[in-house]
Amino acid sequence: MSGQVALVTGGTRGLGLAISKRLMARGVTVAAGYSTNAEAAKRFLDDHAEHDVTVHQGDIGSAEDCARIGAEVLEQHGRLNILVNNAAMTLDKTMRNMTPAEWDQVVRVNLSGAFYLTRTVLPQMLERRYGRIVNISSIIGETGAFGQTNYAAAKSGLFGLTMSLALEVARKNITVNTVTPGLIMTDMTAAVPALAMEKILARIPVGRPAEPDEVARLVEFLADPESAYITGQVYAVNGGMHM
Tens of each residue's pLDDT in the chain, 243 residues: 999 999 999 999 999 999 999 999 999 999 999 999 999 999 999 999 999 999 999 999 999 999 999 999 999 999 999 999 999 999 999 999 999 999 999 999 999 999 999 999 999 999 999 999 999 999 999 999 999 999 999 999 999 999 999 999 999 999 999 999 999 988 767 777 888 889 889 999 999 999 999 999 999 999 999 999 999 999 999 999 999
Enter the pTM of the model: 0.96
Separation of alpha carbons 65 and 58, rounded Å: 5
Distance of CA 211 to the CA centre of its chain: 16
How crowded is the C-beta side of 47, counted as CA atoms within 13 Å? Answer: 14
Which of these is catalytic: 34, 116, 130, 151? 151
- Beta bridge partners of residue 54, listed in sequence order: 31
The pLDDT tens digits of the residues spanning 101-154 come to 999 999 999 999 999 999 999 999 999 999 999 999 999 999 999 999 999 999
Separation of alpha carbons 60 and 153, rounded Å: 17
Q: Which of 214, 114, 129 is nearest to 175 (CA)?
A: 129
Which helix (H) or strand (E) covers residue 179, if one does?
Answer: strand 174-181
Separation of alpha carbons 22 and 176, rounded Å: 19
Separation of alpha carbons 48 and 30, rounded Å: 10
The pLDDT tens digits of the residues spanning 23-35 come to 999 999 999 999 9
Residue 194's CB is within 10 A of a number of other CB atoms, namely 6
Whether 116 is catalytic: no
